[in-house]
Amino acid sequence: MAAAPPDAHPAPVQRSLDDLGTPLSDVTFCVIDLETTGTAASTCAITEVGAVKLRGGASLGTFQTLVDPGCGIPPRITVLTGITEMMVHDAPPIEAVLPALLEFVGDSVIVGHNVRFDLSFLRAALERSERPPLANRSIDTCALARRLVRDEVPDCKLGTLARHFRLDHPPNHRALDDALATGDLLHLLLERAATLGVTGLDDLLVLPTMAGHPDAGKLALTDSLPRSPGVYLFRGHRGEVLYVGKATNLRARVRSYFSTDGRRKVRRLIRETQRIEHRVCTSPLEAAVSEIRLFHRHQPRYNRQGTGAGRYVYLKLTLGEPFPRLAVARVLTDDGGLYVGPVRSTSFARQVIAAVESVVPLRRCTGRIPRSRAAAPCTAAQLGAAACPCSGSIDEASYGRIVDLARRGLTDEPDLLLRPLAERMDRLAAAERFEEAAAARNSAEALATTLQRQRRIGLLRRAGRVRVRVIGSGSAEITHGRLRRTWRDVDPVPPDELGFESGAPVGPVTREEADELNCVATWFDREAHRLQLLSVEGLMAESVRPVPCFTPRRPAA
């Protein structure tokens, strides 16, 4: 066994997103080749390991050893490789080779010609040795060759490519020689890839999957994209915005449209795209909010998801009439009603209304209230499910107490509505009426979700101007629940505002504001453990009694 790794690493680790943007000249590659007793990793064994470590076009070291497969070597394999059973008789088993090989590989990017074959044998050996699997990224020079030079050669076998391009190390079915030849091929393919704008590891990893994309020529539109968080816009022939998106790595995300996403909508989008614009953001929060604002400004026709503003509706308690009821409203009007929401759809709003009405006997009939008792009461009143005035059994003052209960439950005292729903769910479950208990739980969860969202948005809107710092990241200023600016810890002063002016909020949340407010509120929830409050103008404090959660808990692993 021979090993000469001047920069060996202790163990392979998964590369981060920042590593993926590393220039290819700074990436450490480890080219591996194995000789085996056959083609199936489950039934065959390794007879030889060869590897060479490369960086910036230079060799950093080589690794080579014969391996005792623990079984016979078929004659056809001996004819192909020249490795006999006598040669491996005193060689170490793969279990003894793995520690030194893993140290040599370290956290480099593994390269191979048909690399899946070599990795399958390595995975099988690691599993048998009860070692963790490799987490290294891998590059297949065969797949790269199909993408870059397929038109120049009859096939993409290593021997064919070595002869055609006159590589310095000819392959001969011995592990180290084949690894050296694959390393030569890698350097040639990297030169070819550079003409397509492939400059970083992330570009190289997705390049083979772009082979069949009909618009791969438009990859040049992505050349100026940085590997930073931000938003991007696809523009068409007339400059119109076709699509808006956000990304933590702009370059990798936009280039992925040319490879992994085969949806017909995406193919049409790429065909129509003539220009790709971007804006770098200082944080994922700024990117998410900017995406929402750009969507509302341009209404791109390829953005079918990402906002529900077109479907948003409100729950309305019609306080402006003598006998109020709950209804679904699509627009906000100054009619004295109590508006809750918006919520995501009409069907969801009706589910929430049904949950409230199962606790509070609000009027359900929608017709004009009869002046005499001669008219027949509505069905809900006949069944005793609602205290409708059409029954003639309740006056306006008594009904007002019912309305007040509903109003308090929908605003400051959610327990008034949620506790009876929880008790009903428990009673049904105890009686083994599980389907009804599940329906009661779903109704309670819909109501709880709506009230919790209402509460956290209201909290941010009432807080006024809030400045927070994400520990280890950056800072943000939020005014009445909407993002005003973000800046990094290294910035001397906050940058200019994001083109947004926010006065004190008046009335319920509008449908246009809902997406951004929900985005900011979700960010607060997600980053709560890392947030440091710098300043706040108003009151920013959660209620002592939180809104309960009815979502079933997953069993612990």
The pLDDT value recorded for residue 14 is: 41
Domain annotation covers residue 48: yes
Amino acid letter, 170: P
Taking the C-alpha atoms of residue 150 and residue 347, their distance in angstroms, rounded to an integer, is 55
Domains: count for the chain: 4
Is residue 108 located within the same domain as residue 7?
yes
Higher pLDDT, 160 or 371: 160
Is residue 38 located within the same domain as residue 133?
yes
**If you average pLDDT over every residue of the chain, what do you get?**
83
Under the banding of pLDDT at 50, 70 and 90, the label for residue 307 is low
Domain annotation covers residue 322: no
What is the mean pLDDT of the segment spanning 135-153?
Answer: 89
From 406, 432, 452, the end of a domain falls on 452
Is residue 76 located within the same domain as residue 101?
yes
The pLDDT value recorded for residue 507 is: 73
pLDDT tens-digit map of 54-66: 999 899 999 999 9
Q: Which of 78-82, 289-293, 320-324, 487-491 has the lowest mean pLDDT?
A: 487-491
| H or E element, residue 28 | strand 28-36
Is residue 156 located within the same domain as residue 21?
yes
Q: Which of 19-23, 353-357, 480-484 has the lowest mean pLDDT?
A: 19-23
pLDDT surpassing 90 at residue 255: no
The pLDDT value recorded for residue 474 is: 85
| H or E element, residue 363 | none
What is the mean pLDDT of the segment spanning 529-552?
Answer: 75
Catalytic residue list: 173
Is residue 135 located within the same domain as residue 194?
yes
Place of tokens 């929880």: 422
From 203, 233, 259, the end of a domain falls on 203
From 410, 429, 452, the end of a domain falls on 452
**Residue 347: Cβ-neighbour burial (10 angstroms; 0-12, 13-18, 19+):** exposed
Is residue 288 located within the same domain as residue 166?
no
Residue by residue, DSSP assigns 508-525 as SPPHHHHHHHHHHHHHHH
Taking the C-alpha atoms of residue 158 and residue 189, their distance in angstroms, rounded to an integer, is 13
Amino acid letter, 553: R
Higher pLDDT, 320 or 211: 320
**pTM (2 decimals)?**
0.62
The pLDDT value recorded for residue 555 is: 47
Is residue 513 located within the same domain as residue 441?
no
What is the mean pLDDT of the segment spanning 485-512?
Answer: 67
Domain annotation covers residue 65: yes
Is residue 486 located within the same domain as residue 369?
no
Is residue 107 located within the same domain as residue 72?
yes
Domain annotation covers residue 161: yes
Is residue 359 located within the same domain as residue 468?
no
For residue 264, what is the domain's CATH number?
Answer: 3.40.1440.10
Q: Which of 4-8, 292-296, 498-502, 532-536 has the lowest mean pLDDT?
A: 4-8
Domain annotation covers residue 557: no
Higher pLDDT, 214 or 529: 529
Domain annotation covers residue 483: yes
Domain annotation covers residue 323: no
Q: Which of 263-272, 273-282, 412-421 has the lowest mean pLDDT?
A: 263-272
Is residue 24 located within the same domain as residue 132?
yes
pLDDT surpassing 70 at residue 25: yes
Q: Which of 155-169, 175-189, 208-222, 309-323 has the lowest mean pLDDT?
A: 208-222
What is the mean pLDDT of the segment spanning 11-39?
Answer: 73
pLDDT surpassing 70 at residue 504: no
- Which long-range contacts (C-beta less than 8 Å, at least 24 apart) are formed by 420-428? 420/359, 421/355, 421/358, 421/359, 421/447, 422/548, 422/550, 424/358, 425/550
Q: What angle do helix axes 175-194 and 141-148 make, rounded to 10 degrees? A: 40
Domain annotation covers residue 428: yes
pLDDT surpassing 70 at residue 551: no
Is residue 185 located within the same domain as residue 48?
yes
Residue range of the domain that includes 476? 464-536
Question: Cβ(258)–Cβ(219) under 8 Å?
Answer: yes
What is the mean pLDDT of the segment spanning 433-458?
Answer: 88
